[in-house]
Amino acid sequence: MGIITLVLVLSGQLTEFKVPFWVILTCATAITLGILSGGWRIVRTVGFGIYKVRPLHALDTQLTSAAVIYGASVLGAPVSTTHVVSSSIMGIGTADRAKAVRWGKAQEILSTWLITIPGAGLVGVICYLISMIFTR
């Protein structure tokens, strides 16, 4: 929502940085459609694949995640909410009963982070180089 609003401000479509309702609705719709079209697998993995989350764990995980994300926002540090929530679930599960955490699934998630983060950087570099070819 912030990026879309920023583009609207920079293009002159908006005079102030205030997120319009239609942007909120469009983003919420896109997130919902993403979850319906395959993102549910991620939700299921985070909610049940790492540790069987019960209501109390869900509350603790959300409070922990909110605190970490808020702290990062105050410091201006970028964080991935998926990474924060996954880590929170691992921490809550470990505090409750470490043997109940599915460490194999946690290791699988960690390995995908180690692949996707540099991969995203590489794709960014390639896109930049391609755009430099066309803008010279």
Q: φ, ψ for residue 15 (rounded to 5)?
A: -95, -20
Separation of alpha carbons 4 and 2, rounded Å = 6
The full set of domain ranges for the chain reads: 1-49, 55-136
Residue 129's pLDDT band, with cuts at 50, 70 and 90, is very high
pLDDT of 26 over the 90 cut: yes
pLDDT of 89 over the 80 cut: yes
Task: Give 61-80 pLDDT, tens digit per residue.
Answer: 999 999 999 999 999 888 88
**Predicted TM-score (pTM) of this structure:** 0.62
Q: Write the CB contacts of 56 (distance below 8 Å, at least 6 apart in sequence).
A: none
